[in-house]
Amino acid sequence: MTQFPPDVHALIEASIAEDQTFNDPTTQAVVSLETQATGTIRAKANGVLAGVDLAIEVFHRVEPTLDAQAILQDGSQLSPGDDIAVVRGSAAGILKAERIALNFMQRMSGIASDTNRYVQAVQGLKARIVDTRKTAPGHRYLDKYSVRMGGGHNHRLNLADGILIKDNHIQANRSREMGLKQVIELALANASHTIRVEVEVETMEQVKEALEAGAHIIMLDNMTVPEMADAMQVIGDQAIVEASGGITYDTVRAVAETGVDLISIGALTHSVTALDISLDLDFD
């Protein structure tokens, strides 16, 4: 069973409050407290599972007497009709928790499934598929966990995880008459020895400046595939290289073939297509 951090438990509580789970007049009016049932959570589409332990946590939080058990583990490949989990006990409790549990699992499995498509697309090449901080508010931990379940890797969890110099950071120093190279050198001078410095670049001139300044990681932002290939010829093994900006499933393998180390894709978490998962209820 996954151990969740406090912010995930807080998100569960917020979801329960949002849905007014303990003030459900429909269930209260028509479902007897004595009625027992068995609910089976099933996949209705192909994909990769994520969030089954979280769904179980939701059922237990709403009705502690429920017996909820996972059949498949996160990271499992899913096909339509696959049984994912089973929950037994109070029919009222299952009905109250159902939508929240499925909402979490469908979103998380959608992220894992889309991530896995990208991972499979670059199979055999060294590039890693990584996420971004473009996550739903409050879902950062779960979104990034789901990327890992799909075979991807995490970029920064939050701002504290590293230094990433972007165009607005450069612009903020224009009044000090500092260019890209000087800003990178400033970051390196002020950074803890445990933190790496990454810089976003858009031109070959900026690539050369970043190398000269000693950046640990160079992000090639919104470059074409030929431009990335040219940049890799210049960078070689002098820095870790990340490709970012507008990369799609159709272009990701060509990007990986340039030799970049990382490919970051914001759409994994900011444009989620939920995986179709349902709960079928049988009454005892």
Cβ-contact 248, 227 below 8 angstroms: no
> Cα separations (Å) of 76 from 47, 49, 117, 148, 272?
8, 5, 14, 12, 19
Q: What is the pLDDT along the chain (284 residues), one digit of tens a residue?
A: 678 999 999 999 999 999 999 999 999 999 999 999 999 999 999 999 999 999 999 999 999 999 999 999 999 999 999 999 999 999 999 999 999 999 999 999 999 999 999 999 999 999 999 999 999 999 999 999 999 999 999 999 999 999 999 988 988 887 777 889 999 999 999 999 999 999 999 999 999 999 999 999 999 999 999 999 999 999 999 999 999 999 999 999 999 999 999 999 999 999 999 999 999 999 97
The pTM of the full predicted model, rounded to 2 decimals, is 0.95
173 contacts: CB under 8 Å, gap ≥ 6: 182, 183, 186
- From the list 211, 212, 209, 217, the residue with the least C-alpha distance to 264 is 217
Planar angle of CA 69, 74, 75, nearest 5 degrees: 150
Please check whether the domain covering 124-270 is classified as CATH 2.40.30.10: no
162 contacts: CB under 8 Å, gap ≥ 6: 156, 195, 196, 197, 198
What 3-state class would DSSP assign to 49? coil
> Cα separations (Å) of 224 from 46, 70, 221, 264, 272?
32, 44, 9, 15, 25
The ranges assigned to domains in the chain are 6-119+273-283, 124-270
Kindly report the backbone phi and psi dihedral angles of residue 47, in degrees, each rounded to the nearest multiple of 5, phi listed first. 170, -160
Whole-number Å distance between alpha carbons of 281 and 284: 10
- Fold classified for 6-119+273-283: Aldehyde Oxidoreductase; domain 3 (3.90.1170)
Whole-number Å distance between alpha carbons of 275 and 47: 7
Report DSSP state, residue 12: H
Active site residues: 99, 134, 166, 200, 221
Give the pairing type, strands 240-244 and 262-264.
parallel
